[in-house]
Structure 1
Amino acid sequence: MSLRFARWTALACLPLILAGCGGAVRVDPPVPEGSAAAACRALGERLPQTLDGLKRVETTPASPYVAVWGEARIALRCGVPRPVTMTATEQVPEINGVAWFNDPGRPALFTAIGREAYVEVTISGEHIPQDVLIELAAPIKAALPQVG
């Protein structure tokens, strides 16, 4: 192979190489059933492409129940189980009409409760949780009816 051909091939492939640098973010998807699965699919269609200044990125495996913004700086999973550390009498803050349980053992983890499905949001320390949760309130309220 000539040096000229090798350079041309390298230049032609550069965009493909760069496109693969970030890759999809690995997140284990939940497996909601019934009405929770339908509500979570509806939520997935309403989630913003940009959240707290971060663009939404692809996840692997692909799932309608998972959304990630900014290479896993913010990750959302819809249809997760009820938080095991949450008591029946737990007092939780409400942000723009959505109640959020914050697990004391995992301060970056917030779970929307009292809806058709539980929605878990992990927020890196680079972001103010309240700002992120405010942005997520409208799509959650629109897609997930309140229960109980």
Structure 2
Amino acid sequence: MTLPLRRLSGPRFARLPAVLVLAVTVGCSSTDAPASVPVPGPPAEEAAFCRALDKELPKTVDGHDRSDPEPDSVLTAGWGDAAIVLRCGVPRPERMSDPQAKGVDVDGVNWMLEERDSGPRFTTTYRKTYVEVTLGERYLHDIGPLSDFAAPVADSVPPSL
């Protein structure tokens, strides 16, 4: 059985192509938009360390290509679809004062761990500025990506001893 084709015309269908283009554009742009993260506001000396770190950061982390979040800043970087986000020059986390806080050492760089449902957050310790790395939910029990940051952090952000 073949159904007859009707031509869609008239004033109520005149805008249909424009509406479809707009719907497709909005649908695509919302999934392709980079993540948005707050940009830290460190003092000038710390910002200089962050600029140096930005130049040393890897192009890929754990198989994810670099895809920086919005707004564009040398103080923030990202890999994958916001799977891994780095912020440099963040304030000292309150949790760092807790003697029960958990920490890890990855290739000579110390990190404080904050466990969250959305994925772990790590902040460097004993450095002249704090570098924060948040990992997506799939990294709940995986610190592997931190090894990609160890050399750049060690080379760019001096110890605070």
TM over 0.5: yes
3-state SS of paired residue (2:137): coil
Match of 2:114 in 1: 103
Rate the CA distance shift 1:130–1:91 in 2: closer, same or farther, 3 A. Answer: closer
Rate the CA distance shift 1:101–1:50 in 2: closer, same or farther, 3 A. Answer: same
Q: Which structure 1 residue ranges, 4+ long, deviate > 4 Å from structure 2?
A: 17-21, 88-91, 104-107
User: Partner letter of residue 155 of structure 2?
Assistant: A
Match of 1:119 in 2: 131
Higher RCO (Cα < 8 Å, 6 or more apart) = 1
Match of 1:138 in 2: 151
> Could you tell me whether the CA contact under 8 Å between 1:86 and 1:103 is conserved in 2?
no
Which shifted more, 88-97 or 106-115? 88-97
Q: Provide the C-alpha distance between the structure 2 equivalents of 1:19 and 1:83, rounded to a whole number of angstroms.
A: 34
TM-score, scaled to structure 1: 0.79
RMSD (Å) for aligned C-alpha atoms: 2.5
Residues 85-106 of structure 1: per-residue CA shift (max 9 Å, x gap): 1127556321111011012467
How many residue pairs align between the two structures?
135
Where do 5+ consecutive residues of structure 2 fail to align? Answer: 1-16, 22-26
Alignment partner of 1:28 out of 19, 28, 38:
38
Q: Provide the C-alpha distance between the structure 2 equivalents of 1:139 and 1:121, rounded to a whole number of angstroms.
A: 13
3-state SS of paired residue (1:68): strand
Percent of aligned pairs with the same residue?
35
The structure that has the greater radius of gyration is: 2
Offset of residue 113 of structure 1: 1.2
Match of 1:79 in 2: 89
Where do 5+ consecutive residues of structure 1 fail to align? Answer: 1-5, 11-16
Rate the CA distance shift 1:129–1:136 in 2: closer, same or farther, 3 A. Answer: farther
Alignment partner of 2:55 out of 33, 41, 45:
45
Residues 91-127 of structure 1: per-residue CA shift (max 9 Å, x gap): 6321111011012467611101111110111011323
Offset of residue 34 of structure 1: 2.1
Q: Provide the C-alpha distance between the structure 2 equivalents of 1:74 and 1:130, rounded to a whole number of angstroms.
A: 11
Which shifted more, 100-109 or 17-26? 17-26
Q: Provide the C-alpha distance between the structure 2 equivalents of 1:129 and 1:46, rounded to a whole number of angstroms.
A: 23
